[in-house]
Structure 1
Amino acid sequence: MNIDFELSLPRLSRNNREASSSSLDNNKKEDEMKRAAAKKLIERYFYQLTDGCGNPHCDNKYCASSGDLKPLTPDEAAAQAIQLFSQDARLCERHPNKIARTQANSNIESSLNRQKMNSETITNDLVLSPSGNEESKSRNLLNTSSEYLYLTEQILYDIIEECEANDSYSKLIKTLGKVFCNIDCLACSFLQTETPDIEEKSFDKDTDKVRGLNKEEVRSLEGEKDKDEDSCVEPSKNSLAPVDLPSVRRAFAALFKLKTSIFENALVNALVALAGNLQVQLPTRKDKDNQDDVVNVLLIVFEIPALGSGDFLETGLPAICRASQWLTVSVQAKLAKIWSSPVGRISLRSILENLQQLITLKVIVTQFHRDFYVQDENVITSATRLIKILYFANMLAGTLESPCSAEELAGSIDSLYPIPKSQKAVPHVDPLAYELGINVLNCRKPHLPFEEFYNELLSDAVEMDRDFANYKSELGKFSFMLYPFILTPATKTMGLYFDSRIRMYSERRISVLQAYRGTPSNPYLKLKVRRDHIIDDALVELEMLAMENPNDLKKQLVVEFEGEQGIDEGGVSKEFFQLVVEEIFNPDYGMFVLQKETQVVWFNPTSFESDGQFTLIGIVLGLAIYNNVILSVNFPMVLYRKLMGRRGSFEDLKDCNPVLYNSLKQMLEYTAPDLEDVFMQTFSISYEDVFGSAINHQLKENGDDIQVTQENKFEYVELYADFLLNKQVEKQFHAFYKGFQMVVDESPLELLFRPEEIELLICGSKVFDFDELEKSTEYDGGYSSNSQIIKDFWTIVHLLSDEDKKKLLQFTTGSDRVPIGGLSRLKLVISRNGPDSDRLPTAHTCFNVLLLPEYSSKDKLEDRLMKAISYSKGFGML
């Protein structure tokens, strides 16, 4: 039967006849919209005829739910759908209890066309051809085979029910194998009709018409002229997550109620085939919209409950990971946004655990050697790339604050204290972070703790010297330093260590070359200080170095105490930093003030010290990091955020001034209209200077006359926090920051560490687990773990107070802080230092060696040990 479609859409042809050559582009856009609208309506008629609307009381004779319509074959339904479209027949509204699939018009059609069609699409014929044959067009639109080419929740339920009734699961196995091995079939499965409003988008009235098409709206579209390009975009391209994830989860829950042995092999083999298809197609797909089906595929695959166990873990998941390494940045960003949405974040932890399980398995079973490192294992590296998507999704799903570029703060610092461009390293910008417009500093609280992204077995297996070489290589080799979220802080510290040591060796080579040229220079950064004048001596020498040649700060530090013997192999430097910190951060010195509630130190805004003094303190802090020394400082977290380029904000007050934070938060949470009478606060605050005198400050012009109200209380809180954390100490912090950057500006510090990890790097761990220290301690000179004096030693140590334990660490290692990774990282060595004697124990702090005589009794051991650790400064430590 031939149908005159020109009569069905009379105004379409009339508009085309009347269009002038100057409006061809507009007509083309209209034609594209009409094609999309026609596709959508024909699909809706087809599903109405085959599946119904879902309303059990439907009275539409052209709807399968009414009970009046005899079952139709796909060919018959397609032909009748075309006829109903031309007749402007009644179209049911979708019922909420029905699993709708009309959102998938273009996806299903394009998929089936790719597999079955060799002629033009049915919709082009409908809109642009004067006539056509229903039978041929129906074959183009729909697959004539009775096999399923895609899955929905209901289809899977029906197949399972049928298989259980027949006690044969061949149809289920065949369907899973056919759908899950094909990109197009799987991409068209489990699609939703209306996507959740995950992104805040505004659509114009024309776009809304496309999203909610009905027959009348198709007619109204014919008369619309000035359309945006976006109004022609089909709903599947506007939607963020066309896959109905809750439906996928319900479907998989029903499937995995069966014995997995029934379908596991078929599904695993299908995933392997799917991965093969992805590996072939993905490298050639560069267009953003051309990978949307891949997004659907991965969303469905990663919802498989058993993906982290059995053959799925050993075969299926590795294959998918290998294929996913070809994903474009735009597709990665879309996945991150979907997984960060309320419906997507439900699966974040399970997907992360599955990928971590895969990495752990590969680390355990793979034999790594000098020619095959962990960075060469493709499954591990590709799984790590996928975890990066989850990492950013985790931040997006958490508590975020307004974005702020790292240059925003650095720019103002450079204006006051310019740093030569030659000293600045180009910061690494992750492409996915750039695409999403997010930085770890934007995330105040992630959805999952960042610690869940660490993989300890992988971290232990990574050879950081090799990884650092890959990081520096220009050959594009994989480096975990570009994926630092998966490495533990202790492992990342090794990356920082290799960077600093290479720079130190480089400075030594330069010194040797200069010596050959007749201009010798010291290959070390040598400081000679008096113990009683340590601050004055150190600051004067550092100031001279900073002025003459800042690059000398990159040299290895060597400290000498005047009048004392000892070669600095690290231990003397540790003591030097400890003494400097104790004095300079003492509130009596006047450069920093102590917050009584939290015992943290902060810049003294009314300090009499010059900016140069704060610059030199920044240098000291940078040198400690550069020389791998842990300091006993207690800064609030906001300082480390500021060092990474983020200005302090209201939430930062929680750590450094909790009393004020709680008061301001109480104001923000107060909703009654009498806020002015209750709080009686204006935009004016007061604080005390070093002499205890009150100083008034207006947060904005005429602040004394502006009352804090419900309307402006958020502005008041923001201005208050900004003043305390930024403006009040702007000069002091900028000077401090300049000194810090003079040492670490070229290091990968900001790349590797989050603010919390930088605090751990500088201050060490707060957990004093001496059981770990005992397990990791080695023995020399005739001692062993079974020696009686060693048993007595550990019995005494475990009974010490925390303060005495710190003294013991100070005595044996030169620092009373616990390094990142715990006390097991210290590698303490206890060596026999002769037979019983009255001598006190001594220590080589450079090498963490305790020289312990073999005392005749436990009491004598305790007496000599306590005396040694109590009076150790400048004595007993070499």
Structure 2
Amino acid sequence: MDLCDRSGDPAASSSDAREDEMKRATAKSLIERYFYQLTDGCGNPTCDNKHCASSGQVTTLSPNEAAAKAIQLFSEEARLCDPHRNKMPRTNFLSAGDNSVISSIPCNDMAAPISLNDSARSSQTKQDITMAEAIPYLTEDSLYEIISECESSENYSKLIRTLGEVFSSIESLVRSFRQRVLSSPIDAILDKTAGDLTTLKKEDVRSLEGEKDKDEDSCVSAMSPDSAENQRLPLDYAGLRRSYSALLERLPSNITESAMVNALVTLAGYLQMELQNRNTKLYSNDDIVHVLTIIYEIPVLGNGDFLETAFPALCRATKWINVEVQAKLAQMWSSSRNSSCLSLLLENLQQLVTLRVILTQFHPDFCVQEENVVTAATKLMKVVYYANILAGVLESPILRQKPDKNLWTDPEDELALELGVHPLDCRKPLIPLTEFYNEPLSDAVEVDKDFSNYKSPSPNKFSFLLYPFILTPATKALGLYYDNRIRMFSERRFSFLQSVSGNPSNPYLKLCVRRDHIVDDALVELEMVSMVNPIDLKKQLVVEFQGEQGIDEGGVSKEFFQLVIEEIFNPDYGMFVTQPESQTMWFNPMSFETEAQFTLIGIVLGLAIYNNVILAVNFPLVLYRKLMGILGSFEDLQDWNPTLYNSLKQLLEYPDPDLEEVFMQTFRVSYQDVFGNLMHHDLVECGDSVSVTPENKYEFVKLYADYLLNKSVDKQFTAFYKGFQMVTGESPLEQFFRPEEVELLICGSKNFNFDELEDATEYDGGYTRFTMIVRNFWQIVHAFSNEDKRKLLQFATGSDRVPIGGLSKLKLVIARNGPDSDRLPTAHTCFNVLLLPEYLTKQKLKDRLLKAINYSKGFGML
């Protein structure tokens, strides 16, 4: 199972290499004991060993001098004290209860090899007994030793015992897998000799004695995790991953799985007690981050018993971590910049959430928001979400600028504030953000209850809308719909109270327009409302076409918006221009219309969202980013004007120093106005005399993009944004959706799949999906062109757009409308009901259906 990149796979090592590793570890262990004996002593106040600091006979030594002396004492087999019972041994060891005997080591007095005598072996055995009383921990090297030893003896009890002891203890994991500093004097010597001190020269030891240590604690901190309690070394990320890979590749999973699962369940209990009892914390935030990083790096958390018992227990414990730990954990995960490892953690969390959602029986008294494993995993996924953002391509926070800061401010997300980053700062995340959607969860969420929890002031009520990254856009759109409807009902109640008190007011925002003067009538009425009483924009919209009998239950409004948008965004109207290459609409910098007109267009767009209507608009993504408070930048040019973007990118990537001669570009840019006249703009003062060079090319591109996307249309967009916020400013639109999701919300899905529509359609009046006319209907419709399919949608629902989430979210109803006749099909667009007479032949059905969708327009009596 290749989860991460590895080098130096221990499984591929020869037996000689493993033997060298063991020699090195054994030699290092004894040398470290001499080192601490010289520096710290054995802890026995009556010690008489002249080479022990506790005897008072050792002069003060620098770390390097002590290291050199320790190597010399090791080679001489000098007396080694037994550590006093009250003195915590600092020598690296493998696990409690490990009483292995050290074998002979090639060593000499810088000349001939020697072996350990009985006294040394006896001393080592006593040290092992002391180590049994101490706290176990693991390193990459020590784990390899245990694996090799178990493989040689074909007895894995030692490995199982060690994993159980280490992974069930917070303290053991705090000490485990600490990064080894390669500049350690002892490590440097062992690197030179590969653990064989027979090759060591006297000059090497003397050089240590003469060196001045730049960091007095460097040698100490390099030797073991508990040698510098107040200055913990960082996690050995690469070593940890190699260690897990070794466990998975070299050993059958059944050997370690049970021990690891049981240990992690025990660890989860200790973690939860530690994290909940904040007043009596035993471990620092850095220690907790270290432990969580180790356990969540386990590749198989999403498999077998890990997924069913250990992983849920860990998530329940982790939900108690504070914001500082969350931030440190996100930074730790992001620092590796390894998409495969971060993806694996996300995948494991998604599997856990999905499994719990599928297997749990939810009912009115127990909803998904109360399933503590699902909610705990969601909280942890938020940390992964921010780690993914931090590991991606971030833009400057300077681009986060609201056109009018008085209209709306960002809600304070504690984790975002702690990290100093906003999700919108991320131009390209390490993992696509769509990977965070969980569809089974989104389908299981009762949005009305979740929205109630979202609005509740109680911190004990969980809402997935506070973690919108995990919900699909369709589910979040339903949450926004509830928010909008509640505001509409509030305005309706307020109007009723006013009428009772003698000041009656219309409970609806009513627009009466002429079909042939629809834009003029609509804009005049909306301007009056925005000037006299802007709060009326929060009321439910009701549209009436003069001379037509349609009653607006939603269908009339849909057609109103469609007709208004078609006219306003017509280039002949002059307010917007079409980008020739991308065919997107953009503000006309040279428009003769007033700012008030753009404000009214913003109101129309906001009303469409507020009244749950999809519009046929085609803006570039940069507009939606700007609506959420992010200024346009160079990368936004990619879909705004691809040709210009590629040209500027070619300029930025040009490697040679003759850029000025090749491109001949200055800081003056040119463009055409609406009449075709060539216009100029200086990006800097006297821009025509400032050439673009390798030194200033980035500044040129930045200023050019800023001018095109921000400064040249500043008045138009600011007015447009003001109108948009007049309707949506108090809604959670910006909290629930990212820019690309807002585009889906406004424009609908591009997934034009009529198979989904057929599967989601319901039947009434005696029709079923097996009725002959219904079967003929779908055969005819599936053979339609896309244009005719859009006309059918327009006829039956009042809009030719696909709702967010696809056509499966469009609940079309096909109802019987009498026996065979010459009448055309009709529709109640307010309720998405298609009324279909039971035509006797398939050809007649097709003929009547095509006439209906091509020639019917308006709301009248049929």
Whole-Å separation in 2 of the counterparts to 1:285 and 1:619 = 49
Alignment of 1:541-552 (within 5 A): 541-552=525-536
> Which residue in the other structure is 2:493 paired with?
509
Please tell me whether residue 296 in structure 1 is matched to residue 301 in structure 2: no
Please tell me whether residue 282 in structure 1 is matched to residue 275 in structure 2: yes
Structure 2 counterpart of 1:385, which letter?
K
2:455 to 472, 475, 489: 472
Please tell me whether residue 273 in structure 1 is matched to residue 266 in structure 2: yes
Structure 1 counterpart of 2:421, which letter?
I
Kept in 2: contact 1:529–1:561 (CA 8 A): yes
TM-score, normalised via structure 1 length: 0.80
Whole-Å separation in 1 of the counterparts to 2:827 and 2:241 = 61
Shift of 1:259: 2.2
Please tell me whether residue 181 in structure 1 is matched to residue 168 in structure 2: yes
Please tell me whether residue 317 in structure 1 is matched to residue 315 in structure 2: no
Please tell me whether residue 243 in structure 1 is matched to residue 226 in structure 2: no
- Distance verdict in 2 for CA 1:222–1:392, change over 3 Å: closer
- Distance verdict in 2 for CA 1:663–1:222, change over 3 Å: closer
Alignment of 1:596-745 (within 5 A): 596-745=580-729
Cα deviation, 1:120-139, whole Å, max 9, x if unaligned, reads: xxxxxxxxxxxxxxxx9x99
Structure 2 counterpart of 1:277, which letter?
Y
Cα deviation, 1:397-439, whole Å, max 9, x if unaligned, reads: 1111111375x323xx35xxx65xxxx5x64221111111111
Please tell me whether residue 374 in structure 1 is matched to residue 373 in structure 2: no
- Distance verdict in 2 for CA 1:70–1:361, change over 3 Å: closer
Alignment of 1:122-161 (within 5 A): 144-145=131-132, 149-161=136-148
- Distance verdict in 2 for CA 1:74–1:93, change over 3 Å: closer
Alignment of 1:37-48 (within 5 A): none
Structure 1 counterpart of 2:584, which letter?
V
Please tell me whether residue 262 in structure 1 is matched to residue 250 in structure 2: no
- For residue 159 of structure 1, give the secondary structure of its aligned residue in structure 2: helix
Cα deviation, 1:599-628, whole Å, max 9, x if unaligned, reads: 100000110111110000000000000000
Whole-Å separation in 1 of the counterparts to 2:287 and 2:91 = 11
2:435 to 452, 477, 484: 452
Structure 1 counterpart of 2:265, which letter?
V
- For residue 814 of structure 2, give the secondary structure of its aligned residue in structure 1: strand
> Which residue in the other structure is 2:545 paired with?
561
Kept in 1: contact 2:29–2:92 (CA 8 A): no
Please tell me whether residue 350 in structure 1 is matched to residue 344 in structure 2: yes
> Which residue in the other structure is 1:521 paired with?
505
> Which residue in the other structure is 1:4 paired with?
none
Cα deviation, 1:569-622, whole Å, max 9, x if unaligned, reads: 100000000000000001010000001111100000110111110000000000
> Which residue in the other structure is 2:747 paired with?
763
- Distance verdict in 2 for CA 1:146–1:110, change over 3 Å: closer
1:435 to 406, 418, 426: 418
Alignment of 1:12-411 (within 5 A): 65=24, 72=30, 78-79=36-37, 82=40, 83=51, 86=60, 88-91=65-68, 144-145=131-132, 149-194=136-181, 242-257=234-249, 258-285=251-278, 290-342=284-336, 345-404=339-398, 406=400, 408-410=401-403
> Which residue in the other structure is 1:204 paired with?
none
Kept in 1: contact 2:339–2:431 (CA 8 A): no
Shift of 1:216: 7.2
More divergent stretch after superposition (163-172 vs 626-635): 163-172
Q: Any stretches of 5+ residues in structure 1 without a counterpart?
A: 1-53, 95-106, 117-135, 197-213, 224-232
- Distance verdict in 2 for CA 1:171–1:234, change over 3 Å: closer
Structure 2 counterpart of 1:584, which letter?
I
1:830 to 806, 814, 828: 814
Whole-Å separation in 2 of the counterparts to 1:270 and 1:605 = 66
Kept in 2: contact 1:842–1:876 (CA 8 A): no
> Which residue in the other structure is 1:6 paired with?
none
Structure 1 counterpart of 2:643, which letter?
V
Kept in 2: contact 1:515–1:521 (CA 8 A): yes
Kept in 1: contact 2:587–2:717 (CA 8 A): yes
- Distance verdict in 2 for CA 1:70–1:264, change over 3 Å: closer
Whole-Å separation in 1 of the counterparts to 2:342 and 2:304 = 21
Shift of 1:90: 4.2
- For residue 404 of structure 1, give the secondary structure of its aligned residue in structure 2: helix
- Distance verdict in 2 for CA 1:65–1:692, change over 3 Å: same
Please give the root-mean-square deviation of Cα atoms over the aligned residues, in Å: 3.4
Kept in 2: contact 1:75–1:139 (CA 8 A): no
- Distance verdict in 2 for CA 1:755–1:289, change over 3 Å: farther
2:465 to 474, 481, 500: 481
Whole-Å separation in 2 of the counterparts to 1:236 and 1:802 = 70
Whole-Å separation in 2 of the counterparts to 1:354 and 1:495 = 27
More divergent stretch after superposition (744-753 vs 75-84): 75-84
> Which residue in the other structure is 1:208 paired with?
none
More divergent stretch after superposition (828-837 vs 290-299): 290-299
Q: Any stretches of 5+ residues in structure 2 without a counterpart?
A: 1-16, 41-50, 54-59, 72-87, 98-122, 184-207, 218-225
Kept in 2: contact 1:375–1:478 (CA 8 A): yes
> Which residue in the other structure is 2:120 paired with?
none
- Distance verdict in 2 for CA 1:246–1:66, change over 3 Å: closer
Structure 2 counterpart of 1:362, which letter?
R
> Which residue in the other structure is 1:210 paired with?
none
> Which residue in the other structure is 1:34 paired with?
none
Shift of 1:79: 3.0
- Distance verdict in 2 for CA 1:55–1:795, change over 3 Å: closer
Kept in 2: contact 1:539–1:616 (CA 8 A): yes
More divergent stretch after superposition (668-677 vs 186-195): 186-195
Percentage identity across aligned positions? Answer: 62
Whole-Å separation in 2 of the counterparts to 1:247 and 1:828 = 57
Structure 1 counterpart of 2:740, which letter?
E
